[in-house]
Amino acid sequence: MNLLNKFSNPELCKKLLTLLKNELIRPFRFMEVCGTHTVAIFRSGLRSLFPENLIHVSGPGCPVCVTHEREVAAFLELAQKDVVLATFGDLMRVPGPNKQTLKDLQAQGANIKIVYSPFDALQLALDTPDRDVIFIGIGFETTAPTVAATLNVARQQNIKNFFVFCLHKLVPPALKALLSGGVKIDGFLLPGHVSAIIGRGPYEFLSKDYNLPATIGGFEPVDILQAIYELVKMFNLNQPAVVNCYSRVVKDEGNQKALLMLKRVFEPCSALWRGLGEIPDSGLQIRSEFEAFDARKSFNLEDLPQVPPLKGCKCGDVLKGLLRPDECPLFNKQCTPESPVGPCMVSTEGSCAAYYKYLV
Amino acid sequence: MCLAVPMEVKSIDGLVAEVEIGGVKNQVRLDIIDEQPRPGDYVIVHAGFAIRKLDKDEALETLKLFEKGLGLELT
Ligand code: SF4
């Protein structure tokens, strides 16, 4: 659509960049918490145009990266059972204990299928009624409703051979955990499509309790520059608020229909995050009404395997914004996208991978 | 995996819409979209589901604000 191309208009970007530069009277450190923002900031070239005193930090916004090593070990175990494991392609190369990946297991004969949508995994179950199909549910509030809707259809159609291994996570509790852990940030660029579902309300604690400005931003260069400019303006005026700069997609109240679906199928639970550890109420588990589809219950995964963290990998500190990827001793040495040590180098949305691709 | 992109709705059949982006057609589910789209509308698609309708008026409004504030001609 012609209208949408305007959100990458170079003239407009230039003007916004000038405005931003003028507004930056002191160093400003912002964190984005969305893999798509990480990639968009690098790919659009914005990162190299940012003024020196604008410091960009990537937080725990890539669902592949925040999947805990114990969760990875669990789905690797699942893949070795007599099942069809359906997954988003991004998880295929995430190394578990002993550096093993789903891709390795697939080469050794495990039945692993890459799907683009959870609904495709359900279709797989319908097509192979004599096989159990397990979908690995990862992702934040944008993805979880799509899995909820799929489970809802599975229940309506009384499908017996479809299961979800639920590892979904929620963004606001992770931000809270980061901040109470003492991470130094001056403002947040909030994830546009998570916000399309949850709206603006769940972030209000950022300005109320932590005195931090936050803006919900889209993914075109104009969106990103505008959102950062608004952040800096609020910071300078010391008038922090949570502002929606992506109104063509995000409504303040979010998507109520998706939220209802989410609540029908899932309930909040404590969850493990790579690097951040256990955070209360930061994950989703399948409600008892849907437990017939819960892979944790049907495949004996209530307790995740105990495994040590990946040796030498600093993904935890990278995800907390404490370490720049290139400050990790393994970066571009033992750890490259061809031979990744940690998930932040595997996922195209991981910050180590973005640093490697655009800055090495 | 988080990619969510605007796609144009071509036709709708129950809970399934046919959408198009850059000449490539796809089918997406409409189970969780909160405003029923119509052909010609743009929807944000994530993991095979339409998650939001794109609000053209809001897009225009944002661009108009830039026009006014920055003296550019955009719309
Ligand atoms: S560079 Fe590699 S080893 Fe270091 S934090 Fe990133 S993914 Fe982990």
Whether this model's ipTM surpasses 0.90 comes out as: yes
pLDDT band at A1 (very low <50, low <70, confident <90, very high): low
* Interface with chain B: mutation pick from A3, A33, A224, highest number of B CBs within 10 Å: A3
What distance in angstroms lies between residue A118's CA and the mean position of ligand 1's atoms? 29
**Per-residue pLDDT tens for A68-104?**
999 999 999 999 999 999 999 999 999 998 899 999 9
Range in A332-336, B22-26, B51-55 the model is least confident about: B22-26
- The answer to whether position A313 is within a domain reads yes
Q: Tokens standing for B3?
A: 């990619």
In a domain, A114, yes or no: yes
The total domain count for chain A is 1
Question: Band of the pLDDT at A48, cuts 50, 70, 90?
Answer: very high
pLDDT in tens, A201-236: 999 999 999 999 999 999 999 999 999 999 999 999
Average pLDDT, chain A: 95
Average pLDDT of span A236-259: 97
The answer to the question of residue A312 being in a domain is yes
pLDDT score at A296: 97
The answer, yes or no, to whether residue B36 has pLDDT greater than 90, is yes
* Whole-number pLDDT of residue A348: 87
Residues 93-132 of A with CB under 8 A from B: 116-120
First vs last C-alpha separation in chain B: 33
Question: Does residue A197 lie within any of the structural domains?
Answer: yes
In a domain, A342, yes or no: yes
- Judged by phi (left if over 0) then psi (alpha if -120 to 50, else beta), residue A277 lies in left
Q: What is the pLDDT of residues A325-336, one digit of tens each?
A: 999 999 999 999
Residue whose tokens read 């964190």: A31
A307: CATH: 3.40.50.11740
pTM of this prediction? 0.95
Residue A291 belongs to domain spanning: 62-216+249-360
Residue A309: other Cβ atoms inside 10 A: 15
Write out chain B residues lying below 8 Å of A257, CB-based. 32-34
Residue A175 CB partners (closer than 8 Å, separation 6+) = A33, A59, A188, A203, A206
φ, ψ for residue A222, nearest 5 deg: -65, -40
Which of A310, A328, A332, A346 has most ligand 1 atoms within 8 Å of its beta carbon, as the pocket-test mutant?
A328
Q: Please state, rounded to an integer, the average pLDDT across all residues of chain B.
A: 92
Residue with tokens 């505008």: A226
Residue B20 in contact with partner chain A when CB distance is under 8 A: no
Range A109-113 average pLDDT: 98
Contact predicate A292/A299, CB 8 Å: no
| Per-residue model confidence as pLDDT tens digits over A167-186 | 999 999 999 999 998 889 99
The rounded percent of chain A whose pLDDT value lies above 70 is 100
On whether residue A32 sits in a domain, the answer given is no
pLDDT at B3 over 80: no
- Interchain proximity B49–A349, CB inside 8 Å: no
Q: Would A350 be classed as within a structural domain?
A: yes
Torsion sign (Cα): A201, A203, A208, A212: negative
Task: Please compute the mean of the pLDDT values over residues A241-257 and round it to a whole number.
Answer: 97
| pLDDT bucket at A280, cuts 50 / 70 / 90 | very high
Looking at the domain assignment, is residue A188 inside a domain?
A: yes
Average pLDDT over residues B1-28: 91
